[in-house]
Chain A
Amino acid sequence: MANGSKQIVDFAKIKATMADPYKHPVQVIDREGKVVDPDTLAKYSDDQLVDFMKKMVWERTLHEQTMNFSRQGRLGFYAPTAGEEASEMGSVTAFKQQDFLLPAYRDLPQMIQHGTTVAKGFLWSKGHVQGNQHENPNMLFPQIIIGAQYVETAGVALGIKKNGDEDRVAFVYTGDGGTSQGDWYEGVNFTSAFQAPAVFFVQNNGWAISVPRYKQTGAETLAQKAVAMGVPSVQVDGMDIVAVHEVSKAAREFAAAGNGPVVIETLTYRYGAHSSAGDDPSRYRTKEEEKPWFDADPLIRMRKVLTDKGVWSQDQEDKLVDEYKDEFKQAMKEAEAAPAQKVSDFLKWTYNVPTPAVKKQIAEFEAKESK
Chain B
Amino acid sequence: MAKMTYIKAITSGLDQVLNDDPKTLIFGEDVGKNGGVFRTTIGLQDKYGEDRVFDTPLAESGILGLAIGLSLTGWRPIPEIQFMGFTFEAMDGIVGQLARDHYRFGGQKNFPVTVRTPFGGGTHTAEMHADNLENYFTSTPGLRVVTPANPYDAKGLIISAVESDDPVLFMENLKLYRSMKDEVPDEKYTVPLDSAKVVREGSDITIVAYSAEVNESLTAADALAKDNISAEVIDLRSLSPIDTDTIFASIDKTHKVVVVQEAQRMAGVGAVVASDIAEEKIMSLDAPIGRVAAPDSIYPFAQAENDWIPNADDIEAKAREIANY
Binding site for B on A (CB under 8 A): 100, 129-130, 132-133, 140-141, 145, 148, 150-160, 162-163, 170, 182-183, 186-187, 189-190, 193, 345-346, 348-353, 355-358
Contact = CB atoms under 8 A, between A and B. Distances in A.
Nearest to B64: A151
A151 B75 contact: no
Nearest to B97: A148
A158 B66 contact: yes
15 contacts: A100-B73, A132-B106, A133-B108, A148-B92, A162-B25, A182-B59, A182-B61, A186-B57, A193-B56, A350-B102, A351-B144, A352-B166, A353-B166, A357-B244, A358-B241
Given A350-B141, A352-B164, A356-B244, A152 B68 contact: yes
A158 B97 CA distance: 18
Contacts of B25: 162
A170 B173 CA distance: 37
B69 A153 contact: yes
Nearest to A357: B241
Contacts of B222: none
Contact of B93 (A151, A156, A159, A351): A151
A356 B74 contact: no
Contact of B102 (A133, A151, A186, A352): A352
A151 B66 contact: yes
Contacts of B141: 350
Contacts of A193: 56-57
A355 B62 contact: no
B325 interface: no
Which has the most chain B C-beta neighbours within 10 Å: A154, A193, A353? A154
Contact of A155 (B65, B92, B107): B65
A160 B73 contact: yes
Contacts of A153: 65, 69
A156 B69 contact: yes
Interface in B152-181: 164-166
A166 to B, nearest CB: 14
Contact of A157 (B69, B77, B194): B69
Nearest to A354: B241
Contact of B67 (A140, A155, A163, A346): A155
B110 interface: yes
Contacts of A158: 66, 69-70
B292 to A, nearest CB: 24
A133 B74 contact: no
Contacts of B68: 151-152, 155
A156 B25 CA distance: 14
Contacts of B105: 132-133, 141, 349
Contacts of A358: 241
B87 to A, nearest CB: 15
Interface in B17-45: 25
A234 B74 CA distance: 32
Given A133-B106, A154-B62, A100 B72 contact: yes
Contacts of A100: 72-73
Contacts of A162: 25, 51, 70, 73, 75
Contacts of B187: none
Contact of B62 (A130, A187, A350): A187
A227 B93 CA distance: 26
Given A160-B73, A351-B166, A355-B241, A151 B106 contact: no
Which has the most chain B C-beta neighbours within 10 Å: A130, A150, A159? A159
Contact of B96 (A129, A148, A345): A148
B307 interface: no
Contacts of A154: 62, 65-66, 69
B296 interface: no
Nearest to B164: A352
Interface in B46-68: 51, 56-57, 59, 61-62, 64-68
A126 to B, nearest CB: 15
A345 B106 contact: yes
Contacts of B103: 346, 349-350
B276 to A, nearest CB: 9
A356 B245 contact: yes
A129 B106 CA distance: 6
Nearest to B238: A355
A152 B94 CA distance: 12
A264 B66 CA distance: 21
Interface string B204-244: 00000000000000000000000000000000000011011
A-B pairs, 8 with minimum CB distance: A155-B69, A151-B65, A159-B73, A355-B241, A186-B62, A156-B69, A349-B107, A155-B66
A183 B106 contact: no
B13 interface: no
A90 to B, nearest CB: 25
Nearest to A140: B72
A150 B57 contact: no
Given A129-B104, A190-B59, 16 more contacts: A141-B104, A151-B69, A151-B93, A152-B68, A155-B72, A170-B69, A183-B61, A186-B57, A186-B65, A187-B62, A190-B62, A190-B66, A351-B142, A351-B166, A356-B243, A356-B244
Which has the most chain B C-beta neighbours within 10 Å: A145, A155, A156? A155
Given A145-B92, A193-B57, A350-B102, A356 B194 contact: yes
Given A159-B74, A189-B59, A356-B245, A152 B106 contact: no
A162 B43 CA distance: 21
Nearest to A192: B57
A216 B141 CA distance: 35
B161 to A, nearest CB: 13
Interface string B233-268: 000000011011100000000000000000000000
A2 B144 CA distance: 67
A351 B112 CA distance: 11
Interface string B67-86: 11111111101000000000
Contacts of B75: 159, 162
A182 B64 CA distance: 13
A163 B69 contact: no
A148 B194 contact: no
A100 B25 CA distance: 21
